């Protein structure tokens, strides 16, 4: 009798949990559609004629599809040059930011020195300043230092972002025990050896997350290249696609084709580093 009553009491609880899961999955699917629909529309419209893009009511699938947009983009514009410049700049920026932010985060987390807290507070407060506010002073500094070479100037804003330093400091404090570092020092390990052999392997998830963030920030940047790049031959991909809105009219068909091709490197980086990205984003969410 007691067993039957217990089973009967659990049935409504299981039903509520099942209903909750169904509602959660329905909400997540709806949210996925909200984010995915513009991407799917851009992909579909990149195969449409320019007149079909603004058809009313809009058509999700091209009828018929055409590759003329991609041919016009690749034949009439130096698209591969734009892509190469953006990719090279993004890779250099990412490597520099990962190394420098990891070093700075390690120093802030594990070393004691005069003015440490004040210096960190100043660095952290810079997160509240929009990039558009500092872009003019930054350009003046780069110009006075005679560092306006396009490749170098494009890398400058992304080599040591404040967010990256803060992120590495937090992960270093949580993931690298002081006792482990002290034991390595007793064994004769140098400070750089500590960083290379102990700290970096433990920070791999955070480094992956920071790498994806840094790559996308540099790769998608438009404002800074718009200021420091003047020659069409040095255009980055966002700047080149923006140039398609030129004197000949707004070439939405070519812009959509360029946007689809421009998304490929970002997707490759995401899929290559997705494991580290997810581990880095979820680290610290569950206490051991």
Mean pLDDT of the chain: 82
Residue 7's Cβ-count burial label (10 Å; 0-12, 13-18, 19+) is: exposed
Q: Would you say residue 6 has pLDDT above 80?
A: no
Render pLDDT for 261-275 as a digit per residue (tens, 0 to 9).
Answer: 888 888 888 888 777
pLDDT of residue 134: 86
The residue extents of the domains of the chain are 2-45, 80-282
Distances (CA, A) of 185 to 94, 110, 189: 30, 13, 5
Query: Taking 60 as the threshold, does the pLDDT of residue 68 lie above it?
Result: yes
Work out the pLDDT band at 4, boundaries 50, 70, 90.
Answer: very low
Which of 97, 89, 92, 87 has its CA nearest to residue 161? Answer: 97
Inter-residue contact 168 to 106 (CB < 8 Å): yes
- Rounded distance, CA 242 to CA 225, Å? 11
Q: Return the pLDDT at 288.
A: 41
Residue 282: its pLDDT value, please? 61
pTM of the model: 0.80
> For residues 160 and 100, is the Cβ–Cβ distance under 8 A?
yes
Q: Sorting pLDDT into bands at 50, 70 and 90, what band is 95?
A: very high
Q: Which fold has domain 80-282?
A: MetI-like fold (1.10.3720)
Separation in Å, CA 7 to CA 10, 18, 19, 148: 5, 16, 18, 74
Instruction: Give residue 3's pLDDT.
Output: 53
What pLDDT is stored for residue 34 in this prediction?
Answer: 86
Quick one: which of 73, 96, 84 has its CA closest to 259? 73
């Amino acid at each position: 009798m007691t067993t039957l009553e217990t089973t009967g009491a659990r049935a409504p609880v299981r039903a509520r949990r099942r209903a909750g899961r169904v509602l959660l999955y329905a909400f997540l699917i709806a949210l996925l559609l909200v984010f995915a629909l513009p991407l799917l529309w851009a992909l579909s419209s990149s195969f449409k004629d320019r007149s079909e893009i603004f058809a009313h009511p809009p058509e999700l699938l091209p009828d018929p599809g055409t590759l003329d947009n991609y041919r016009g983009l690749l034949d009439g514009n130096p698209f591969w040059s734009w892509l190469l410049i953006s990719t090279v700049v993004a890779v250099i920026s990412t490597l520099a930011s990962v190394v420098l932010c990891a070093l700075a985060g390690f120093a802030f987390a594990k070393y004691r020195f005069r003015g440490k807290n004040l210096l960190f507070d100043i660095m952290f407060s810079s997160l509240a300043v929009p990039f558009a506010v500092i872009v003019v002073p930054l350009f003046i500094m780069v110009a006075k230092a005679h560092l306006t070479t396009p490749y170098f100037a494009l890398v400058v804003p992304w080599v040591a972002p404040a967010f990256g330093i803060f992120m590495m400091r937090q992960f270093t404090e949580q993931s690298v025990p002081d006792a482990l570092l002290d034991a390595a020092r007793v064994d004769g390990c140098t400070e750089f050896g500590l960083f290379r052999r102990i700290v970096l392997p433990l920070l791999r998830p955070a480094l992956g997350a920071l790498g994806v963030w840094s790559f996308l920030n540099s790769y998608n940047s438009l404002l800074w290249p718009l200021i420091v790049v003047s020659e069409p031959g040095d255009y980055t991909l966002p700047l080149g696609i923006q140039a398609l809105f030129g004197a000949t009219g707004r070439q939405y068909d070519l812009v959509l084709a360029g946007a689809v091709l421009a998304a490929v490197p970002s997707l490759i980086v995401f899929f290559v580093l997705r494991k580290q990205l997810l581990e880095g984003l979820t680290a610290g969410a569950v206490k051991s």
